[in-house]
């Protein structure tokens, strides 16, 4: 079975793929100080709790946080006796090479997302991922990542308002009932929610104009379903897009090795 690990700046997601299905998906806060032993204790107790029959013998990692990769590699070597593929490293091949100024500096999560989305939807896509940052990744007709947009994430924007303005509390994002807020919390929620809807719709419109062709929009990330309620701009919302991309990239490398 394959252990697929997607490490973002806020959360790290672990999924186990049995060749046909994901048996489980679990999240842990990203923390570069976490050791291989700590990951293993956490993972194996969840496996036990869910009474899963699991034998991990292969692994693939995508990480936007370079320092966590060392301990994740140790986890795979020590406890699962395997050498993981790490997306973005030279020994992990990609089916579609990115066409940008510095391919090596593209966030691996973005490359994984574009592979997952291209496989499901074909070319000329915009992939929107609501993570710590909100990213827009443009996929060409042949599946290559050709650039995109990085905007501050929803929770970062809320946190920045709270940090910079003495009278503004920390609030959580929700779908506001109205645009005009009648108290401080409602005003902030409206500004971030509808501001974000405007950001997403505006960027999508401008990307389509720049590319001058029809493009599908696929959204992913924990907050995608919330934003889907306020706009018609998404053609699909898929919470397993990154994991799907990781499985595809893993299979591609396996095929290359056995060829
Ligand atoms: N369902 C959700 N509801 C509210 N906030 C969420 C949800 N899912 C994720 N978040 C928040 O969105 C932010 C980005 O989360 P995540 O997608 O895990 O980011 P990353 O991939 O950068 O680690 C985090 O602040 C997280 O707490
Ligand atoms: C843009 C990101 C911070 C998004 O990370 P995330 O929100 O998933 O934690 C990450 O993809 C990254 O560090 N990218 C490197 C720069 C680039 O993609 O061009
Ligand atoms: K992201």
pLDDT in tens, 217-241: 999 999 999 999 999 999 999 999 9
Question: The domain spanning residue 78 has which CATH number?
Answer: 3.30.420.40
Structural domain containing residue 43: 2-86
CB-ligand 1 contact for 77 (6 Å cutoff): no
- Ranges of beta strands (E only) in the chain are 2-7, 11-17, 22-29, 58-63, 85-86, 125-130, 133-139, 145-152, 216-220, 236-237
242, 113 Cβ separation under 8 angstroms: yes
Distance of CA 241 to the CA centre of its chain: 8
- Given phi > 0 = left and psi -120 to 50 = alpha, else beta, which region is 134? beta
Other residues' Cβ atoms within 10 Å of the Cβ of residue 179: 11
Q: Is there a binding annotation on residue 13?
A: yes
* Ligand 2 atom having least distance to the Cα of 150: 1
Q: What are phi and psi of 150, to 5 degrees?
A: -120, 120
Q: Assess if residue 17 is contained within a domain.
A: yes
Q: Catalytic: which of 109, 119, 235, 251?
A: 109
Residue 110 and residue 116: Cα distance in Å, rounded?
10
Confidence tier at 259 by pLDDT (50, 70, 90)? confident
Residues 156-160 have a mean pLDDT of: 95
Q: Assess if residue 257 is contained within a domain.
A: no
Residues 124-149 have a mean pLDDT of: 97
CB-ligand 1 contact for 108 (6 Å cutoff): no
Residue 98 and residue 158: Cα distance in Å, rounded?
32
CB-ligand 1 contact for 131 (6 Å cutoff): yes
Specify whether 119 is located in the same domain as 59: no
Specify whether 76 is located in the same domain as 110: no
127, 220 Cβ separation under 8 angstroms: yes
Q: Assess if residue 252 is contained within a domain.
A: no
Q: Assess if residue 172 is contained within a domain.
A: yes
- Please say if the pLDDT value at position 28 is more than 90: yes
109 is catalytic: yes
Q: Assess if residue 94 is contained within a domain.
A: no
Q: Is the dihedral of CA 48, 52, 56, 59 positive or negative?
A: negative
Q: Are strands 125-130 and 216-220 parallel, antiparallel or unpaired?
A: parallel
Specify whether 117 is located in the same domain as 153: yes
Q: What are phi and psi of 132, to 5 degrees?
A: -60, -45
Specify whether 237 is located in the same domain as 153: yes
Specify whether 121 is located in the same domain as 217: yes
The terminus-to-terminus CA distance of the chain in angstroms comes to 21
How far, in Å, is the centroid of ligand 3 from the Cα of 221?
A: 7
Task: State the chain's mean pLDDT as an integer.
Answer: 97
Q: Assess if residue 12 is contained within a domain.
A: yes
Structural domain count of the chain: 2
Supply the DSSP symbol for 2: E
Among 32, 57, 86, where does a domain finish?
86
Specify whether 189 is located in the same domain as 217: yes
Specify whether 127 is located in the same domain as 213: yes
Q: Assess if residue 203 is contained within a domain.
A: yes
Q: Assess if residue 251 is contained within a domain.
A: no
Among 86, 121, 144, where does a domain finish?
86
Specify whether 130 is located in the same domain as 34: no
Specify whether 21 is located in the same domain as 121: no
How far, in Å, is the centroid of ligand 1 from the Cα of 90?
A: 29
Specify whether 128 is located in the same domain as 73: no
237, 224 Cβ separation under 8 angstroms: yes
Specify whether 63 is located in the same domain as 108: no
Among 51, 86, 121, where does a domain finish?
86
211, 140 Cβ separation under 8 angstroms: no
Specify whether 108 is located in the same domain as 62: no
ipTM: 0.92
Q: Ligand 1, atom 7: nearest CA belongs to which residue?
A: 222
* Ligand 1 atom having least distance to the Cα of 6: 21
pLDDT value at position 252?
A: 98
């Amino acid at each position: 079975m394959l252990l697929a690990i997607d490490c973002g700046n806020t959360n790290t997601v672990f999924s186990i793929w049995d060749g046909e299905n994901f048996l489980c998906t679990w999240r842990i806060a990203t923390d570069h100080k976490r050791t291989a032993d700590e990951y293993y204790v956490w993972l194996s107790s969840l496996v036990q709790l869910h009474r899963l029959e699991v034998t991990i013998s292969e692994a693939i990692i995508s990480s936007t946080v370079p320092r966590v990769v060392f301990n994740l590699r140790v986890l795979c070597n020590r406890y699962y006796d395997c050498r993981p593929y790490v997306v973005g490293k030279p020994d992990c091949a990609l089916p579609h090479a990115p066409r940008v100024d510095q391919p090596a500096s593209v966030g691996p999560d973005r490359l994984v997302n574009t592979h997952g989305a291209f496989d499901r939807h074909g070319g000329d896509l915009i992939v929107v991922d609501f993570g710590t940052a909100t990213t827009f990744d443009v996929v060409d007709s042949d599946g290559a990542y050709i650039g995109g947009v990085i905007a501050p994430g929803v929770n970062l924007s809320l946190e920045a308002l709270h940090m910079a303005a003495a009278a503004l509390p920390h609030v959580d994002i929700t779908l506001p009932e109205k645009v005009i807020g009648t108290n401080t919390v409602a005003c902030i929620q409206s500004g971030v929610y509808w501001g974000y809807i405007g950001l997403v719709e505006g960027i999508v419109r401008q990307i389509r104009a720049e590319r001058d062709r029809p493009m599908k929009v696929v959204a992913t990330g924990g907050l995608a379903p919330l934003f889907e309620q306020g706009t018609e701009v998404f053609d699909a919302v898929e919470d397993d897009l990154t994991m799907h991309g990781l499985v595809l990239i893993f299979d591609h490398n396996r095929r290359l090795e056995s060829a």
